[in-house]
Structure 1
């Protein structure tokens, strides 16, 4: 991933925030020189610098063989109009896109054991039902539900290398950054407002850090 120095992020707490924002990731693998991509919800756990993702595929998915993979975690993103910049005329500003994203490189370790799959599905449902305000629970004692485990393959993925790019107008004067935040907060979509919130949080953290 091309990442100019101004946009490099190394604090893994930022990755925690990206996953919390959107745990629906893209898993990319290569087989026979051709790319294969899956889009999957994952469970995320970080212990210090160790990052673990867990999820599952449908059994026929070619990625279920495991192996080297790139996992893309998408954070908030939004279009930025050049008309928002106070210095748009004198600096000949052009439109751009602000975003935060992480690339995780590692290996997919598949598993098929019924007990491990039941535990994974139970934890996935507990986690995402809570987020959605639902109350469905996987019932391992129900033969009809348990039989559906035969249709999936689970995986564990430990990140061996992590790249994060937070392109949030850091290469602009403070007045431009403030103007972009204000404009995004006035937009009608959640992604724009989430991008503004991320920009505001990071601007505040920078100011706090500069103040000691």
Structure 2
């Protein structure tokens, strides 16, 4: 994933997305080519907090996606808030019309997929996911639950490499970002707007301050006094 430095998501933001994401596109390698499978997930952090932990999935046993795990690393693509940014929301657009864009937050996680066919592991993973989505698996009749468990396999992706990106207008002025935030709130984009306020505005304001300071040191007559 191409990630300019000013669009890189920091570790705290990466961990927050890993914890909050409910699904991922799991991309696996097969003799016929790559396969992408949308799956619900749970995130298991590293106990020591050093690494990023593992992503936990399960699939039906008849799904061939788990049979070729030795062909190379798998890729899990997790999506955070994203949305259309209307160019008319930018303050600068009134003087110099520009173009719209799409803002987004995403994490790409790579690692060797591990298949778990152990009944106890699979049960724990299913119960963990059920709890996450507020479903009481104990409501299911025990025999039926056991049959369903035998029909699935567990998948674990220990994340060995992470690429994390937050493309949120960090390259624009604070006024443009504020306009985009206000515009997003009018169209139901509050979550993306909040991410821009948290990430983009401090970045843009710091850059604006730095530029003004450099100009002042150089005696730039265009710099406000």
Q: What TM-score results when the alignment is normalised by the length of structure 1?
A: 0.86
Larger mean CA deviation between 20-29 and 99-108 belongs to 20-29
Matched-pair contact (CA < 8 Å) for 2:172–2:204: no
Q: Aligned partners of 1:140 and 1:82: how far apart in 2?
A: 51
Post-superposition offset of 1:45: 2.3
Structure 1 residue 96 and structure 2 residue 93: aligned? no
- Partner residue, 1:132: none
Offset from partner CA, 1:29-55 (integer Å, 9 cap, x none) = 121251211111111122222321111
Matched-pair contact (CA < 8 Å) for 1:125–1:138: no
Matched-pair contact (CA < 8 Å) for 1:24–1:40: yes
- Partner residue, 1:105: 110
Post-superposition offset of 1:204: 6.0
Q: Aligned partners of 1:205 and 1:171: how far apart in 2?
A: 12
From 194, 197, 200, the equivalent of 1:200 is: 197
Q: What TM-score results when the alignment is normalised by the length of structure 2?
A: 0.81
Q: Aligned partners of 1:209 and 1:139: how far apart in 2?
A: 54
1:1-212 mapped onto 2 (5 Å cutoff): 1-9=1-9, 11-46=10-45, 47-65=49-67, 66-67=69-70, 68-129=73-134, 135-138=135-138, 142-187=142-187, 189=188, 192-203=189-200, 206=203
Larger mean CA deviation between 62-71 and 17-26 belongs to 17-26
Q: Aligned partners of 1:209 and 1:137: how far apart in 2?
A: 49
Post-superposition offset of 1:185: 1.1
Q: Aligned partners of 1:2 and 1:33: how far apart in 2?
A: 26
Q: Aligned partners of 2:109 and 2:168: how far apart in 1?
A: 20
Tell me the number of residue pairs that the alignment of Structure 1 and Structure 2 aligns.
202
Post-superposition offset of 1:62: 1.7
Matched-pair contact (CA < 8 Å) for 1:121–1:138: no
Structure index of larger Rg: 2
* CA RMSD in angstroms, aligned pairs only: 2.4
Offset from partner CA, 1:60-86 (integer Å, 9 cap, x none) = 112112342010000000100111111
Unpaired segments ≥5 residues, structure 2: 210-225
